[in-house]
Structure 1
């Protein structure tokens, strides 16, 4: 009887050791633990005396926990998990040689499958402690960030276009950080090696969104396998971070899971991550969602709207369309928040895919299909408020419109001649008006997302005249443009 009891006791002990080990191998019941610490000497390693930081959020891409008083956390993982820290305001993560933030640990013991473009190498056994370094960082409530719509470079030649057209003019500018809104490259993922050090010349921390052209096509239709190279280079394809009084959420809404190409959609893990993430965002923070495909074009947008619409103000910034546009989504679009969802589609850095006639420097004009020049956006954040400025590549900041009018107008046709103004950063909340030779201002009517028109006033005599167009945007900024024309007999 005694030997039987000893056998049962020994068997139970073995079960407590053996079963968790088996479960951990198949990825269903393993845990990662570690410490978020203040890296006082900025060496990326927790040294003696470096304190743990409490109340910092850490995620496995689905669940989110806050660190305890000693900075420790514990999260469930599988054999394909990226653990990442959600940067709190007042702290910063280390960055690598290309100014990419180092805020994650990839746990993929067997590595990525063999694909055309390399994914993650085998990471081996999980470390005993997965620690994250943060250091104190002054973050004023008023700050600027720069956003690139699709840079979408095919090769090193187009990387040079980007360098000369945009990057060189931004070196030395004071930005808190920058972000590319997907389609960083154009299918050839090896071009990351050229574009990343080029963008890094700006000297600011740079975040990245995954676009459809940043995908491992040979991983589709398995959604998880389309991100392998992106994960190797940038880390998780969705995450969040805080800066000042703003909470930024980067989402991967390029969905390949149904076969037959991609569509705009968030998978179940991201929906759960978003729900959990919003639980920890202070009520007074502005929420900014960064995606590749415009937020209002995703298939399950209503599910996502329900998570976000309780916030007082939500700004969603995207690329993808190679146009520039402001959309305001209210009840008719399914948004039930007190204030409309503001979707800003950022004009692309590559314009029309680096197409068009080259200029004297050999750089294509790259004008987008909506007539907006290629460029980028600067967003000024002031507490939980914001304003957006469009900057055309290698043009003066006050170049904010194109005015279309005939060079010559017969005097008998003056009252029928339509003047068209393309206000690059215009929206339904813009005011646009015109006059001739400083006369009375005439309201112009919006006829497109950023197109306004008006007829020339009667009574203009023969001779040379100047059309003046003035716009006041939704943020109160005023810009003017001019066009000279002649009235002939």
Structure 2
């Protein structure tokens, strides 16, 4: 199931189109001798009662379950039977229904798919899929009963992006260890699972397996095979490790879609990526959502954001937005930009829906690419360029409702706001002392207030085009050290999208005073932060 058709099949379809044109002009029928027509895959989705992975005579098919070839989506009949066209480069996958699970391997990776590549992948820098041989007479998918409540949690990782084994170990110590035994339904990596070295997939998967929940993966621009000359072969290694590069599934009352928005291409002598979806994938999403009731929340998960990112192949972005706009309840998440931000997309962003679309650019596990001074455990602080500490998020779902919690790696859950203020100030000047509050998980429209000690609450002012002061200071300190840093250099600061400022105001007495900041998000979520300042 590739984003576009392989060259032989493309040439065949081009010839076929030409013959149809000739036939229409000449009024003749042409026999296409020697051209292989697409095969039909058939199979059963069944309840694997004894959990042996094989359908036994007494194990019933499950009616109504959806199966896809990456384009068409069909519902199984009353006996659990389905039929789909396949070519020599197809991945069939079951769209997991609520109340069931697919096969999950020893590393907690869901395996509800079958790869059909009779000749296997071509030889590239990193190995792809081995030859699968002829299409089986029946491609069956086992499912297992699995209770799924309406309220559940999902862990989201943006860009773990390790470039070597040392950085895989950073991930294990920085975020995996504190998540062991987490009460989440499953986890998702939002692309850039790795940083170009695709030999690390197995070790990465082993590290994450200790969390102990099923783990889905979205493909990112650093997860593809750069040796490929075209987009259709760029994800062969990813497919060997994880299966289809785009897919969907239900959990409880929520429908999840994993989107492949990486388009690998050649521009003259240069190979590069752009943001785009194949027409085949867009058709799959359209067909998939036809089977999803309007009262269900749809969560689209992708790597590159719908906004503020590498230029999209615009017609395909437009079609994706038009599809998502048909949903009454829809949100989306992405990674890629290595900062954390909530965006409410409107007409200025190309969104034409009746209400704004909530698009979340998720904090990254690697922060700023594992850069910055290492701490006492040897792990770089790797603060994101907007001042957000590296970490992950946990989304709480309950029917159509959802709430995203941000979590800084190895820090207290209460660390949601960083207040930057002087250590001390003279009493005579204290009223004019400015401070900043970086509310990492603030949503546009949030009410941000502060008070000194137990005084009245005052509204803070959103900054415009200012970097986080702590991140700026770290960058300045690196510059003073020169070019021979003993660690990886931090990136340039960015304008922080969730930074507020205020002055202390009247301070009547010297002493140690407490600055309290409260953020009330439009969804009612409250974030709090505190910092002391000494007035002399």
User: What band does the TM-score fall into relative to the shorter chain?
Assistant: over 0.9
1:241 is displaced (CA, Å) by 0.4
Instruction: Give the match for residue 443 of structure 2.
Output: 427
Q: Residue 84 in 1 paired to residue 93 in 2?
A: yes
Instruction: Give the match for residue 464 of structure 1.
Output: 512
1:62 is displaced (CA, Å) by 0.8
Q: Residue 196 in 1 paired to residue 205 in 2?
A: yes
- Contact kept? 2:392, 2:409, Cα under 8 Å: yes
Q: State the 4+ residue runs in structure 1 displaced beyond 6 angstroms.
A: none
Instruction: Give the match for residue 13 of structure 1.
Output: none
C-alpha distance in 1, partners of 2:385/2:506? 33
Structure 2 unmatched ranges of 5 or more = 1-30, 464-495
Instruction: Give the match for residue 476 of structure 1.
Output: 524
Q: Secondary structure at the match of 1:273?
A: helix
Instruction: Give the match for residue 222 of structure 2.
Output: 213
Instruction: Give the match for residue 313 of structure 1.
Output: 329
Match of 1:254 among 262, 268, 282: 262
Match of 2:502 among 445, 448, 454: 454
Distance change (3 Å), C-alpha of 1:42 and 1:474: farther
* More displaced stretch, 232-241 vs 470-479: 470-479
- Contact kept? 2:294, 2:329, Cα under 8 Å: no
C-alpha distance in 1, partners of 2:395/2:508? 41
Instruction: Give the match for residue 11 of structure 1.
Output: none
Cα deviations across residues 161-215 of structure 1 (Å, max 9, x unaligned)? 1111111111111111101011111100001121101101111110000000001
C-alpha distance in 1, partners of 2:514/2:348? 41
C-alpha distance in 1, partners of 2:32/2:86? 13
Instruction: Give the match for residue 351 of structure 1.
Output: 367
1:460 is displaced (CA, Å) by 3.8
C-alpha distance in 1, partners of 2:113/2:46? 14
What is the TM-score when the length of structure 2 is the normalising length? Answer: 0.84
C-alpha distance in 2, partners of 1:226/1:86? 24
Instruction: Give the match for residue 390 of structure 2.
Output: 374
Q: Secondary structure at the match of 1:202?
A: coil
Structure 1 unmatched ranges of 5 or more = 1-18
Q: Secondary structure at the match of 2:234?
A: helix
RMSD: 1.6
- Contact kept? 1:20, 1:30, Cα under 8 Å: no
C-alpha distance in 2, partners of 1:463/1:389? 35
Instruction: Give the match for residue 24 of structure 2.
Output: none
Q: Residue 97 in 1 paired to residue 106 in 2?
A: yes
1:478 is displaced (CA, Å) by 2.3
What is the TM-score when the length of structure 1 is the normalising length? Answer: 0.92
Distance change (3 Å), C-alpha of 1:413 and 1:22: farther
- Contact kept? 2:427, 2:507, Cα under 8 Å: no
C-alpha distance in 2, partners of 1:66/1:258? 38
- Contact kept? 1:112, 1:119, Cα under 8 Å: yes
1:459 is displaced (CA, Å) by 4.0
1:234 is displaced (CA, Å) by 0.1
- Contact kept? 1:20, 1:29, Cα under 8 Å: no
The alignment of Structure 1 onto Structure 2 pairs a total of residues equal to 466
Distance change (3 Å), C-alpha of 1:172 and 1:20: farther
1:346 is displaced (CA, Å) by 0.8
